[in-house]
Amino acid sequence: MWLVVLAFVAAVVTAIWYAKDDGQYKLGFLSMILWGATIMIFVDHTIGYLMEGGEYLEITPEATLLGIVLVIVALIVWEIALLFEDPKGKFRKI
């Protein structure tokens, strides 16, 4: 389920980046973080399924929570990148 959660959020952020972003808030960077994690998890699930069998997508509350936690971690990394970039110049005034 964490693959589905990350892929959905990555698709939404990519659509917002394509339609609305002017580069100020680095939505492309967030999109790349999310798509990178999605591809990594896809490869992990595929290799695990081919090597061991079993179910491809784990649909449990724990797997959903893991997907949400991964999205939160991606948002934290994006926020830190925004703080260092300071697109509105808020920290330069201090």
As a three-state string, the secondary structure of 5-59 is HHHHHHHHHHHHHHHHCCCCCCHHHHHHHHHHHHHHHHHHHHHHHHHHCCCCCCC
Residue 36 falls inside a structural domain:
yes
Domain boundaries, position 10: 2-85
Residue 94 lies in a domain: no
Are 92 and 86 in contact, with CB atoms under 8 Å apart?
yes
More confident residue, 84 or 66: 66
What is the number of domains present in the chain? Answer: 1
Residue 14 inside a domain? The answer is yes
pLDDT at 5: 94
- Burial label, 35 (beta-carbon count in 10 A; 0-12, 13-18, 19+): middle
- Indicate whether 79 pLDDT > 80: yes
Give the model confidence (pLDDT) of 23-43 as tens digits.
788 899 999 999 999 999 999
pTM of the shown model = 0.86
- Within a domain: 93: no
**DSSP secondary-structure letter at 51?**
H
pLDDT at residue 58, rounded to an integer: 84
Residue 77 lies in a domain: yes
User: What's the pLDDT tens digit per position in 48-73?
Assistant: 999 998 888 888 999 999 999 999 99
Task: Give the pLDDT score at 93.
Answer: 65
